[in-house]
Structure 1
Amino acid sequence: MEISKLANPELGLPNSTFLRSPLMTDSYQLTMCYAYWKGGIHLKKASFELFFRKCPFQGEYTIFAGLSNVLKFLNGFRFQESDVEFLKTIIPHAEPEFFDFVRSIDASLLTVTAMKEGTMCFPSEPLLRVEGPLAVAQLVETTLLNIVGYPTLVATNASRIRLAAGKDKSLLEFGLRRAQGPDGGMSASLYAVMGGFDKTSNVLAGQLYGLPLSGTHAHSFVMSFKGLDDVKNAFLKRNATASSTSSSEELVDLKKLVLEKKAQLKIDGTQEGELAAFISYASSFPDAFCALVDTYNTLKSGVLNFICVAIALVECGYPAGSVRLDSGDLAYLSKEAKKLFARYAEISGCAPLKSAKVVASNDINETTLNALNEQKHEIDIFGIGTNLVTCQSQPSLGCVYKLVSLEDFPRIKLSDEVAKTTIPGRKIGYRLFGADEKPLLDLLTQVTGDDGAHKVPKAGERVLCRHPFEESKRCFVVPSHVECLHELVWDHGKCPLKSLPSVEEIRAFVMRQLDNTRCDYLRQHCPTKYKVSLDDEFYTMMHQLLLECTPIPVLDI
């Protein structure tokens, strides 16, 4: 599809080619579309809401993500003639007029209200509200669930890892090779950074999304060198910032200098091929030297070889660099590595060595980070892949897309499981803040009419907040201030937003919310449940409808 044919050329199309076709959906969306049309109800005004029932990872918050791709998907949503021809093979008995209707479908028939991307959200709150003709609003269900579910899961996972690691640590996303296919890998890189990571190793994500990149080397690089004779062209220009009387244009033989430092420090018995690899890598990347030190023996060879190279780099005016631990007892090894840095910094008089960083990888997850914290590790940077991008502890968020209103009449889905009973009606959410300026609860209020009329809670005014399903759970709140959680993001083919926020802006928004949320809501174990409430009028409507729709059983004696 050409960009020039889009409703909003500035929005463009989603990067995934699969999302550029309305056929990326479940077949039952198409069979329902035909049945709606056949029954003559396809143009009825419908409201659907996309939400989730339970926060992931046994936590009590979620980070909403994927909105930019939702808008890009809607921007190019239309059936091409090849799509229509394929539909004829799926529903061969359909009347020709139905396919004329399909040809007329695009997202100019829809409006979408959504949370801001990066918003901290909770169960039962609409992440999106999609409104328009019943058949059309139904057709986008599967794609929207796909676009929102995984990004939200990854962003939430990343934010939890950020909380466990701490604000002062750097987080690198290393998951491309472990992700579920190319689309999973690209999405994971983007939404991991949105959720709190600093950089990614995914080069294509760096190009397409403007993400900061980070990369070092693998064990194969170290194993490629047998001895010092394998080091070729390890010459380095002195950095202009070096405290040396020599010219900054002077070339230094890094191998020779490293061996001099090694002899002065009386470091013996290290693996020679490993040292050769470090010298070669440092001469290639003197400003960002990071040595993978566990190929042979972490403390007796890898770290000591790194120290020799790091001291030589500092003498040439470059940073000392960092070591990467990829196996073993990470807490113990990080502490021992820092001890060696401090010891040889004193022996050599190379003060910057004491500040060399420790990077750790090796299947790290949120639980591992909490355990490392208890062991008082001294790791500065974490590289996390598999457990981040696969969301190993919970691989799916479980978003749902439910009809909540038809022709402005609320609709409710009942269930023997209370958690699966939907909250009927079009709704909008508000976050109510306490005197400490931290969130107290979220309040949902009913939207009525085409003008979006609804009750708006106001700062300083008392409001009754009720649990959606438990009558006795209620409270009065006098908020210090109130924030609306939803805004119109798609209006009959146009995006009213002035611009979409950048990845950096969304990441900063996520971090601000985490900083401003009570710790007991964020903790890994037994977090406090955050309240999502209804105002009194909305609660009354819902329970009247619930009674009207619940069959009264007849008991035979």
Structure 2
Amino acid sequence: MAAPSRNTCGTRERSILDRVPPLLTDLYQFTMAYAYWRAGRHQDSAVFELFFRENPFCGSFSLFAGLNDCLTFLRSFHFTDEDVVFLRSVLPPATDPAFFQFLRGLDCSGVTLHSVPEGTVVFAREPLMEVAGPLAVVQLLETSLLCLVNYASLVCSNAARFRLACGPRRKLLEMGLRRAQGPDGGLTASRYSYIGGFDLTSNVQAGLLFGVPVAGTMAHSYVTSFTSLEEVWPRTLVTVNQDHDPVDLISLTKGWLGRVCELLGAEPGKIHEGELAAFLSYAIAYPQNFLPVIDSYSVTCSGLLNFCAVALALCELGYRPMGVRLDSGDLCKQSVDVRGVLRLCSEHFSISAFDSLIIVGTNNISEQTMVELNTKENEIDVFGVGTHLVTCTKQPSLGCVYKLVEARGRPRMKISEDPEKSTVPGRKAVYRLVDADGHPFLDLLCLALESPPEAGRPLSCHPLGGGSTSLSVTPAQVICLRQEMFTKGQVTQPLSSAAETKAQVQDSLQSLHPRHKRLQEPDSYTVALSETLHTLVTDLRRASTNKSNVVLAN
């Protein structure tokens, strides 16, 4: 698929700016910014990191998404007069009026963002983004950046798991807009489901903004809106080459319906006339895109017979019908039965087009049902997934956080009674160590000023959460994960299209060892600290304990 046009990119950027203005944040960001300003600390240098604490869906990995939106947000970050007027009304009356003039002049020209590339496989507790700049500004960015990354990464990871459960052969259609948490949730889900591995979306706006391929035909309401063949209008259809007079499609289809019923030993009296009328009407409107839902009444007694009759009539006129959709019952068994009938028609009537008809399965499909479906014999070519994909029912939040790791050039560390909530201090570099087979096996966090690890050279490190445990490893290859993405008010890397990010996702997942991609009970992936960084963590913990003892003694 081609990259979005300039016009599409502009539309996408406007959409992001409209949805994520600088006031889309928590009020306490402004109260903290004011307190920094009041204390004269608003220009102090500060560094924050964005990360999540646990891999989602009981898996071993996540995917990093939302970076492009973050960069667009940073590039255009500023407060309007209208914003400032509103902030005056919600901040305490004692707020110094000069603070609002300060806000009016703020932008991100002093902010630098380093990040893992969007679409990269990432793991718990490693920093995905580093945001550095004046303290008041980078504090104000927190909620917006978390909002842009949290759900995008979660739904992208969910989509990747559906793709792993489905396997590479079948196509996946995202169709969750009507079940999503509001318009923005639906739009974000469509975009990042595609990036995570889905092939198509039913969301037309996602097609416009992000270039995601769009698909869809008819719902049950269309079928049930018809009651008799008298409602079909027009009744005729020209051949695909338009080399004959228009043909009465109803009469032609009735002839085929009799032959199909005879072939299958079906009872014509059980066929629903309204359903046949709906199929005919739709076929006349879209003879090259005929793919009806066939379970409005009975698949075997009516829907499949009506489809075959109309599809055979279309083939006689030179058109190629697309296939059928199943939306209820035992999808596996029904798909096998449907495929058997299609093959029988192909052989008996010598219609080769019936060999390439597709079967779409849609019926509240979850990751678990997808896994179960793939353990059974089935003939489904496309799975349509909605609710369980876009709402991430297995885990509704990724839980990304944004924590201070350096202020005034000195490392900062949150030391909590809950070890999982402690942070890793200091500005860092992030390296991915790769084994001789090309699989990543460990991500190493180092202080930014450390020399990078070298391929073929042993190093000692400390797995996160492993206490004082030391590990010796020798990488065959070292990849630097963190790149500068934004500085001096400018995006420093090209913004990638959805299709380009989708390719990055697949490349990153392809390199990951299968044991880390298992949907059930995967092997844990190791994230570790360098010796120098581990020493810093230990020293800061010890210093914090000593200070606490001094305070208590006094």
TM-score by length of 2: 0.93
**1:321-353 per-position Cα deviation (integer Å, ceiling 9, x unaligned):** 211111111111111111221222222222331
The whole-number CA distance in structure 2 between the counterparts of 1:61 and 1:121 is 6
1:418 and 1:355, CA in 2 relative to 1: closer, same or farther beyond 3 A?
same
* Greater alpha carbon shift after TM alignment, 90-99 vs 12-21: 12-21
* Greater alpha carbon shift after TM alignment, 463-472 vs 292-301: 463-472
Question: 1:331 matched to which residue of 2?
Answer: 332
The whole-number CA distance in structure 2 between the counterparts of 1:235 and 1:166 is 42
- 1:345 counterpart = 2:341: no
Question: 2:219 matched to which residue of 1?
Answer: 218
The whole-number CA distance in structure 2 between the counterparts of 1:512 and 1:313 is 41
* Greater alpha carbon shift after TM alignment, 226-235 vs 361-370: 226-235
Which of 511, 523, 528 is the equivalent residue of 1:533?
Answer: 528
Q: Is the Cα–Cα contact under 8 Å of residues 20 and 76 in structure 1 kept in the other structure?
A: no
1:538 and 1:109, CA in 2 relative to 1: closer, same or farther beyond 3 A?
same
For 1:462, the aligned partner's letter is P
For 1:49, the aligned partner's letter is E
- 1:144 counterpart = 2:145: yes
The whole-number CA distance in structure 2 between the counterparts of 1:538 and 1:306 is 66
Question: 1:502 matched to which residue of 2?
Answer: 497
Question: 1:5 matched to which residue of 2?
Answer: none
Which of 487, 490, 499 is the equivalent residue of 1:491?
Answer: 487
**Any idea what SS the aligned residue of 2:47 has?**
strand
The whole-number CA distance in structure 2 between the counterparts of 1:14 and 1:424 is 36
The whole-number CA distance in structure 1 between the counterparts of 2:333 and 2:341 is 12
Counting only pairs closer than 5 Å after superposition, residues 283-298 of structure 1 correspond to structure 2 as 283-298=284-299
How far the C-alpha of 1:456 sits from its partner, in A, is 1.4
* Greater alpha carbon shift after TM alignment, 520-529 vs 344-353: 344-353
Question: 2:24 matched to which residue of 1?
Answer: 24
The whole-number CA distance in structure 2 between the counterparts of 1:32 and 1:371 is 51
* Greater alpha carbon shift after TM alignment, 44-53 vs 473-482: 473-482
Question: 2:34 matched to which residue of 1?
Answer: 34
1:15 and 1:334, CA in 2 relative to 1: closer, same or farther beyond 3 A?
same
**Any idea what SS the aligned residue of 1:295 has?**
coil
Counting only pairs closer than 5 Å after superposition, residues 229-248 of structure 1 correspond to structure 2 as 229-240=230-241, 248=243
Question: 2:466 matched to which residue of 1?
Answer: 470
How far the C-alpha of 1:20 sits from its partner, in A, is 4.5
TM-score by length of 1: 0.92
How far the C-alpha of 1:14 sits from its partner, in A, is 4.9
Question: 1:6 matched to which residue of 2?
Answer: none
The whole-number CA distance in structure 1 between the counterparts of 2:209 and 2:407 is 40
1:256 and 1:548, CA in 2 relative to 1: closer, same or farther beyond 3 A?
same
- 1:281 counterpart = 2:276: no
- 1:431 counterpart = 2:426: no
Question: 1:261 matched to which residue of 2?
Answer: 256
The whole-number CA distance in structure 2 between the counterparts of 1:57 and 1:296 is 37
**Any idea what SS the aligned residue of 1:476 has?**
strand
Question: 2:86 matched to which residue of 1?
Answer: 86
Question: 2:357 matched to which residue of 1?
Answer: 356
The whole-number CA distance in structure 1 between the counterparts of 2:237 and 2:12 is 45
For 2:481, the aligned partner's letter is L
Task: Return 5+ residue gaps in structure 1 as ranges.
Answer: 1-8, 241-246, 449-453
How far the C-alpha of 1:136 sits from its partner, in A, is 0.8
Q: Is the Cα–Cα contact under 8 Å of residues 46 and 407 in structure 1 kept in the other structure?
A: yes
Question: 1:376 matched to which residue of 2?
Answer: 377
Question: 2:545 matched to which residue of 1?
Answer: 550
Question: 1:106 matched to which residue of 2?
Answer: 107
The whole-number CA distance in structure 2 between the counterparts of 1:146 and 1:14 is 17
Q: Is the Cα–Cα contact under 8 Å of residues 117 and 506 in structure 1 kept in the other structure?
A: yes
**Any idea what SS the aligned residue of 1:288 has?**
coil
1:427 and 1:252, CA in 2 relative to 1: closer, same or farther beyond 3 A?
farther
Counting only pairs closer than 5 Å after superposition, residues 365-444 of structure 1 correspond to structure 2 as 365-444=366-445
**Any idea what SS the aligned residue of 1:260 has?**
helix
**Any idea what SS the aligned residue of 1:286 has?**
coil
Question: 2:190 matched to which residue of 1?
Answer: 189
The whole-number CA distance in structure 2 between the counterparts of 1:118 and 1:389 is 18
Q: Is the Cα–Cα contact under 8 Å of residues 410 and 426 in structure 1 kept in the other structure?
A: yes
How far the C-alpha of 1:383 sits from its partner, in A, is 0.9
How far the C-alpha of 1:250 sits from its partner, in A, is 5.2
How far the C-alpha of 1:407 sits from its partner, in A, is 1.5
For 1:494, the aligned partner's letter is Q
* Greater alpha carbon shift after TM alignment, 217-226 vs 98-107: 98-107
The whole-number CA distance in structure 2 between the counterparts of 1:477 and 1:99 is 53
For 2:223, the aligned partner's letter is V
* Structure with the larger helix share: 2
1:546 and 1:17, CA in 2 relative to 1: closer, same or farther beyond 3 A?
same
Task: Return 5+ residue gaps in structure 2 as ranges.
Answer: 1-8
How well do the aligned residues superpose, as a CA RMSD in angstroms? 2.0
1:134 and 1:322, CA in 2 relative to 1: closer, same or farther beyond 3 A?
same
State the number of aligned residues: 536
1:210 and 1:250, CA in 2 relative to 1: closer, same or farther beyond 3 A?
farther
How far the C-alpha of 1:474 sits from its partner, in A, is 3.4
**Any idea what SS the aligned residue of 2:363 has?**
coil
For 2:151, the aligned partner's letter is Y
How far the C-alpha of 1:248 sits from its partner, in A, is 4.5
- 1:177 counterpart = 2:172: no
